Amino acid sequence: MKKSLITGVTGQDGYYLSKYLLSKGHKVYGVKRRNSLINATARIDSLLQNKFFIILQGDMSDPFFLNDVICKYKVDYIFNLAAMSHVKTSFDIPEYTTDVNALGTLRILEAIRINNLKKTRFYQASSSEIFGNSSKKFQNEKTEIAPASPYAASKAYAYWITKIYRESYGIFASNGILFNHESPYRGETFVTRKIVRAAVQIIQNKQKNLILGNLDAKRDWGHADDYCRAMHKIINYKTPDDFVISSGNTMSVRQFTKIVFQKLGIELLFKFKGYKEIGYINKVKKELNHLSKNQIVIKVNKKYFRPTDVNYLKGDFTKANKLLKWKPTISLNKLIDEMIDSELNHYE
Ligand code: NAP
Ligand code: F7E
């Protein structure tokens, strides 16, 4: 039986990856940090009955804990998914972000090295954010690394240290450079989930409007389930390497918002620019009689802007497709439908 250790097990990807590895017959050790609320495991509650799913309490900021579990369980695979993963928040807590995301990765790699674990394979959750504001039409494994936030800088460090430990010590350490991936399990403050959630509340007459930041930013959005399958392929590849995982498409936040509202029976139009921009109802299906033409449902507020943002991301996953035979299977259209359905059921 293969043994896997997942840091960040309570997160979006922690859930999908745990589910996938358990279905493949792995024993999964999931690292969860201490939380004052019991519902911090909400995403993984459905998996907790599985006797091969074991939760360990620990923190990425604690090298003794990391060394202890890595030495004790001598797992086949370590998936390092734990992170302070919110880009805007990283501007408010840059040191903590660096400690968890950058030094946390180093702590794991050092534990593998010091304990001389030749058979342990390591996967690092790298991010398309490391490319910053690239001038390239598509970003791939050869694109220059130019982080534009404390989060991206911490992930760039983690990316490099993973590569360095691979090349210096022969550790099987790979980076999955994942572009944005979403699901009904996405955290509520990331833009896709925030939009879907608010749109559902607006049609249910529980919220008046949705306040957003940079509507022009373009992202390459895929489904977390597809991307967690890629993690398993990356760690099982014959040699350690770095792979871009993306959908190959891009869309602005404004366009994403329009699609979500359209699916719920509201046609949106936008007018004005910058902080003054608004989104208002052009047409609405008659069942939604609490809403009317010209009603403003989208507003912009500068508090949701970042000091610097990444304006355009579009990933080229050719290498993963060629070497890992990986490609996305869930379209953005299906992803949005799934997120809407889940939100509707949640509120019902
Ligand atoms: P997420 O939902 O924010 O989950 C992050 C996980 O890390 C949570 O389980 C969180 O615990 C845990 N964590 C945070 N600080 C920790 C600490 N000090 N010690 C131990 N655990 C800690 O993120 P995700 O979307 O699943 O992403 C997974 C990984 O991929 C992250 O490293 C992220 O940076 C990276 N990534 C994500 C995307 C994406 O689009 N989703 C794209 C590229 C890379 P709590 O539940 O207690 O908060
Ligand atoms: O923002 C804009 C915002 O926070 C996407 C993380 O998983 O993916 C994620 O990082 C875009 C940005 O994701 C709001 O300015 C507008 O341009 O959903 P997000 P992110 O910053 O791309 C990468 C790959 C990761 O690695 C990260 O861990 O949307 N935007 N208005 C907004 N964003 C938010 N959150 N909230 C708004 O109101």
Domain count, the chain: 2
Assign residue 234 the CATH number of its domain. Answer: 3.40.50.720
Q: Which ligand is nearest to the CA of 58?
A: 1
Q: What is the pLDDT of residue 346?
A: 83
Residue 340 inside a domain? The answer is no
Output DSSP code: residue 154: H
Token reading at 148 = 């534009």
In a domain, residue 335? The reply is no
**For the residues 45-63, what does the mean pLDDT come to?**
97
Locate the ligand 2 atom nearest the alpha carbon of residue 213 and give its number. 31
Q: Are residues 305 and 325 in the same domain?
A: no
pLDDT over 70 at 126, yes or no: yes
**pLDDT digits 0-9 by tens, 171-229:** 999 999 999 999 999 999 999 999 999 999 999 999 999 999 999 999 999 999 999 99
Residues 94 and 196 grouped into a single domain: no
CATH code: domain of residue 266 = 3.90.25.10
Please check whether residues 238 and 257 belong to one and the same domain: no
Which are the contacts of 193, defined by CB distance < 8 A and separation ≥ 6?
182, 186, 187, 339
Residue 123 lies in a domain: yes
Atom of ligand 2 nearest to the CA of 211: 38
What pLDDT is attached to residue 38?
82
How far is ligand 1, taken at its centre, from the CA of residue 90, in Å?
13
The whole-number pLDDT of residue 9 equals 98
Which range of residues forms the domain containing residue 296? 191-215+253-310
Residue pLDDT, tens place only, 57-100:
999 999 999 999 999 999 999 999 999 999 999 999 999 999 99
40 lies in the same domain as 98: yes
Say if residue 26 is in the same domain as residue 172: yes
Average pLDDT of the residues of the chain: 97
Q: How far is the CA of 299 from the centre of ligand 1 (A)?
A: 29
34 and 156 within one domain: yes
Q: How far is the CA of 322 from the centre of ligand 2 (A)?
A: 29
Q: How many CB atoms lie within 10 A of CB 333?
A: 10
Strand partners, 175: 124, 242
Give, as one character, the DSSP assignment of residue 324: I
- Is the domain of 122 the same as that of 206? no
Are 66 and 109 part of one and the same domain? yes
Q: Would you say residue 347 has pLDDT above 90?
A: no
Residue 240 beta carbon below 6 angstroms from any ligand 1 atom:
no
Report the share of the chain in percent with pLDDT over 90.
98
Claim to verify: residue 136 and residue 71 sit in the same structural domain:
yes
Residue 264 and residue 124 share a domain: no
Q: Mean pLDDT over residues 18-25, rounded? A: 98
Tell me, in angstroms, the distance from the centre of ligand 2 to residue 87's CA: 7
**Whether the model pTM is above 0.95:** yes
Considering only CA atoms, which residue is closest to atom 13 of ligand 2? Answer: 190
Q: Are 82 and 156 contained in the same domain?
A: yes
Domain shared by 100 and 162, yes or no: yes
